[in-house]
Copies of this chain bind each other. A is one copy, B any other.
Amino acid sequence: MAGGSGERFWPLSRRDRPKQLLRLTQPDATMLHEAVERIAPVIPAEHIYIVTGTHLVDPIREAQVGVPDANVIAEPHKRNTSGAMAYAVAHLLARYDAPPEGISMAVLTADHTIGEPEMFCATVESALRVAEAEPVLATIGMVPTRSETGYGYIQLAERAEPMPESSEGYPVLPVAAFHEKPNKETAESFVASGDFLWNGGMFFWRLSTFLDELDQARPQLAESTRALAEAMQAGDEAKVDVLFAALDDISIDYALMEHARRVVVARAEFPWDDIGAWPALDRALDHDDAGNVTMGDPVVVDTRNSIVYNAPGAEGMAVGVVGVDDLVVVVTEDAVLVLPKDRAQDVREVVKALKERGDGRM
């Protein structure tokens, strides 16, 4: 999945250059390229599909992230993660000459940082092995390291025993429930209990399991998915468009995972971060002695716990920051953002204002 709009990393991200196309934490590879390379030992590039928006197909192909151009596929409209998955499932049904039982699918994200790639691949293999052996929807849950209110949580079943197919890899456990983003108090109780994992938005299933569970949870979406596959196979793009446009704009968690009968989760031990906004660089990059994270070569004087990001490619801009705390300063070739870390989400206000002005730099 690589459809994000990337407002939260403005001004580095733009409408045509969302987070997954940024070299945010590494100067030499986009996050999407990193994601492709990370999973390559498990899934060869010719079987990796990138599902994105129409306006991002060319930028992604041009970014040469390591998959064949034909595997960059565009949803004709934005219909949230349930739409992206229905589109991908339909595409696989149409393309592969195999019954749904014979095709298994891993849904991965393109805009998270993941450490220890070997451990990541082993975790994916454990989840896939279970999903191929049993009619379950599998996911990966991250052990929470803080009472984060920005993520959904996965609650483990009581007295959960690992699925037998995962005995050799990382434990895959039955899930009791999915919980949407909690408030602070609830998040704290989740983390304290030890029975909750972060929902990282990665999923594993045979297409038949996906469709069977969707038949129960949201029959109309299951029907639309099958109809989309038929229209794709027939090459009827107009019909694909109409069918897809009619889908509800809801998440896969809400459409399927919260209602599915058999959900399992692989407990992740690898470092993971969704890099949701600028302050996340605190966790992804090194600090100086004063707690500052810098990119490029800014002059930073008497400043603490701040992020001063002189973007790669914007070396022509000299940046000087003096005497501030907990501030985010981002400088690109054509834009500057200044806000406190705890207001990082409000970068959207800037993007919104530029959009209203008809300013293209958003």
**Residues of A bordering B, CB below 8 Å:** 10-11, 299, 301-302, 316-324, 327, 329, 331, 334-340, 343, 346-347, 349-350, 353-354, 359, 361-362
Is the CB–CB distance between A319 and B336 below 8 Å? yes
Q: Given A320-B10, A361-B318, are A301 and B350 neighbors across the interface (CB < 8 Å)?
A: yes
Cβ distance A322 to chain B, nearest Cβ, rounded Å: 4
Is the CB–CB distance between B338 and A299 below 8 Å? no
Is the CB–CB distance between B335 and A318 below 8 Å? yes
Which B-chain residue is minimally distant from A351 (CB atoms)?
B320
Which B-chain residue is minimally distant from A343 (CB atoms)?
B323
Cβ distance A313 to chain B, nearest Cβ, rounded Å: 14
Cβ distance A316 to chain B, nearest Cβ, rounded Å: 6
- 7 contacting pairs across A/B (C-beta < 8 A): A11-B320, A301-B350, A317-B334, A318-B354, A320-B353, A320-B354, A324-B338
- 9 tightest CB-CB pairs across the interface, nearest first? A320-B350, A323-B343, A322-B339, A318-B335, A318-B361, A299-B353, A301-B349, A321-B338, A322-B346
The residues of B that contact A340 with a CB separation of less than 8 Å are 322-324
Q: Given A346-B301, A349-B301, A350-B299, are A338 and B322 neighbors across the interface (CB < 8 Å)?
A: yes
Which B-chain residue is minimally distant from A10 (CB atoms)?
B320
Select the residue from A11, A318, A331 with max chain B CB neighbours within 10 A: A318
Q: Which of these, B334, B338, B347, B354, contacts A338 with CB under 8 Å? A: B338
Q: Given A11-B318, A301-B350, A317-B334, are A339 and B359 neighbors across the interface (CB < 8 Å)?
A: no
